[in-house]
A and B are shown apart, each in its own frame.
Chain A
Amino acid sequence: MTTAQFLQNLLNGISIGSVYAIFALGYTLVFSILGIINFAHGAVFTLGAYLTYAMAVGQFGINGLLSGLSIPVQLPFPVALLLGCILSGLVSVLIERLAFRPLRNRGGDALLALVSSLGVALVTVNAIQYFVGSEIYSFPPEIYGDIKPAITFSIGESVVVIRTVQVIIFGVCMAVLVSLGFLIARTRFGKALRAVAENPATASLLGISVNRFILYTFFLSGFLGGLAGSLVGTSFGVAGPYFGVTYGLQGIAVIVLGGLGSIPGSVLGGIIIGLIEAFVPPDYSAYKEAVSFALLFLILMVRPQGLLGQSQIQKV
């Protein structure tokens, strides 16, 4: 591998890895509070991409209920993105209210939360298909404004190409990570959130409304999911209603690698998986997806608590 190739892979990996990181954080926030994996997160990822598309582009294809529809008002992309993320957050809140809270109130098993969240995912994905069909939607290249599509520079003979989209994605993800870190580590809100994650009963005795903070958590989680979906969508296109399923499972590999419930772990896991995927040789690129699952299996065998997770005292 030449230096240029190495650099190219490194940059590709960091860019997609940063998206994995913010996506995986959505799982982590919910897991750290409720101890469950929200399998509907992949569906929110998909939904976010479609919502942003609808508001920024608004041209629908030939399938589904909305076929041929074009929305007359197109929002500037940053506004559409923000709104798309907020709506995804609200959908996530709705999911908590409809699928998780009733189960908690009835003292249901964590296993059932898994099924119930999968049920929600099934509903969401098929509702999307019902409305817009299963065709691929691509964001037009000028969505980020009038900028060069790629930055190129050469090392010796070879050329390294960085797509501008990749730089923007990386920048947005970093900004989100820093703000989220600040929110959780430095603010009163974050303190309360951590208290709920640590021990809901004690937090509620201290006057923190646990259910309200669970809703905030789901909002943040959905926001991050929608953002990740939209960013991936602008980079690679929105490949049908099922496009979040693979990313959803990929995200689970990320959180297990980093350590379930660990926020720095999710970021580290995201970057690592992004890098590993980028460094899979082109001849084996079809096996790319299997790499992260093999890693997931392996890490569960050797270190189930993940890279940065805390080992739990096991009581059956």
Chain B
Amino acid sequence: MAEFLNNYGFLIVTVVQQALLGMSLYYPLSAGQLSLASPGFYALGGYIAAIIGTAELFAPWRDLLGKAVFPLEWIIAGVASALLSLVIGLPALRLRGIYLALATIAFVQIVRVISLNLSITGGAIGIFGIPQLFESRWGYIWIFGPLLAATLLFTWRLEQGRIGRAFRAIREDELAAEAMGINPTRYKAQAFIIGGTLAGVVGAMSAPFLNTWNARQGTFDASIAYLAYVLIGGTRSLWGALLGAALLATLPEILRPLNDSRLIINGMVLVIVSIYLPQGIVGALARLRGAGKKKGVPAGGKT
């Protein structure tokens, strides 16, 4: 067991962490909004944790709080991300479809360039030697695991309730939802803020986990990776992000013997899945099950 964790502990924690980031993109998507902003908030959260963990200025905090400084970092990162997503979200969410996606890509790029140039974020080198919460990488499962469980439970409850129904209504037809008395701006902003906050908290937890934090954490590539988790897993189920992350985050490991060419295969998977599994894995499984029960059911709406 110890050997297993030694070999695969990091990978398992990474899958959970990536699944959480996929979830952060799932909320806006479940309200019909394609936002790629998550890496921006993830980077912000990570920088907050890294700065509180290393800067001279915060040394008294660290001495005073000991390990309790970590939860404080998560809270600060969460609050900061929530505020920033409110500021970004309110104007941006007037945009639809590809326009919103482009605006959020711009946001991620702006955060990246700024963090590359400020001295507090360590410029191009970034911040390293971030204090650890656990002795081994595997230990981090004790924060990411409960966070994932809580997120899944929260999402499940959310989807059962009024807010989740409003999200779905907006996704299906925003005008109709508005005519039914749902305020689209409010719910879209909620979905965006929940996603942004989650990404920020995950960032704050990831900075110690990864030990270093730099501008490479919040890039366009990351946006695409998170989007791919959700799309490949399935956009219509909260399990989609988890499944997609499990598949795509482990794929490079499984393909490690192929070394340089493994990203080529990753890219091919993206193409093939978008064409042949447009509803994602969850959608395909549901359809298989549906086909077993009754035949001739039209294959769902659009993704």
Contact indicator A103/B263 (Cβ below 8 Å): no
- Please name all residues of chain A whose beta carbon is closer than 8 Å to the beta carbon of B302 when the two chains form the complex: 109
Contact indicator A99/B271 (Cβ below 8 Å): yes
Contact indicator A119/B220 (Cβ below 8 Å): no
Contact indicator A297/B107 (Cβ below 8 Å): yes
Q: How far is the CB of B251 from chain A (nearest CB, A)?
A: 12
Q: Which of A245-280 contact B (CB under 8 A)?
A: 245, 249, 252-253, 256
Q: Does A293 have its Cβ within 8 Å of any Cβ on chain B?
A: yes
Looking at the complex, which of A175-183, A196-204, A211-219, A282-290 is the stretch in contact with chain B? A282-290
Q: Does A186 have its Cβ within 8 Å of any Cβ on chain B?
A: no
Measured in the bound complex, the distance between the Cα atoms of B228 and A126 in whole Å is 17
Interface size on B, residues (CB 8 A): 46
Measured in the bound complex, the distance between the Cα atoms of B118 and A290 in whole Å is 13
Measured in the bound complex, the distance between the Cα atoms of B105 and A252 in whole Å is 10
Contact with B along A115-129 (1 / 0, CB 8 A): 110111111101101
Q: Which of B96, B99, B173, B303 contacts A112 (CB 8 A)?
A: B303
Q: Which of A36, A102, A122, A287 contacts B267 (CB 8 A)?
A: A122
How many A-B residue pairs have C-beta atoms within 8 angstroms? Tell me: 132
Q: How far is the CB of A124 from chain B (nearest CB, A)?
A: 8
- Please name all residues of chain A whose beta carbon is closer than 8 Å to the beta carbon of B109 when the two chains form the complex: 249, 289-290, 293
Q: Which of A207-230 contact B (CB under 8 A)?
A: none
Q: Does B254 have its Cβ within 8 Å of any Cβ on chain A?
A: no
Q: How far is the CB of A271 from chain B (nearest CB, A)?
A: 20
Contact with A along B265-290 (1 / 0, CB 8 A): 01111110011001000000000000
Q: Does B98 have its Cβ within 8 Å of any Cβ on chain A?
A: yes
Contact indicator B267/A301 (Cβ below 8 Å): no
Q: How far is the CB of A21 from chain B (nearest CB, A)?
A: 19
- Please name all residues of chain A whose beta carbon is closer than 8 Å to the beta carbon of B263 when the two chains form the complex: 122, 126
Contact indicator B98/A37 (Cβ below 8 Å): yes
Contact indicator B173/A108 (Cβ below 8 Å): no
A-B pairs with beta carbons under 8 Å apart, 21 shown: A37-B98, A103-B275, A115-B228, A115-B231, A116-B270, A119-B269, A119-B274, A120-B271, A122-B264, A122-B267, A124-B267, A126-B260, A126-B264, A127-B264, A245-B220, A249-B220, A287-B117, A293-B113, A297-B92, A316-B174, A316-B176
- What is the interface of chain B, defined by CB distance below 8 A to chain A? 34, 91-92, 94-99, 101-103, 105-107, 109-110, 113-114, 116-117, 173-176, 220-221, 224, 227-228, 231, 260-261, 263-264, 266-271, 274-275, 278, 302-303
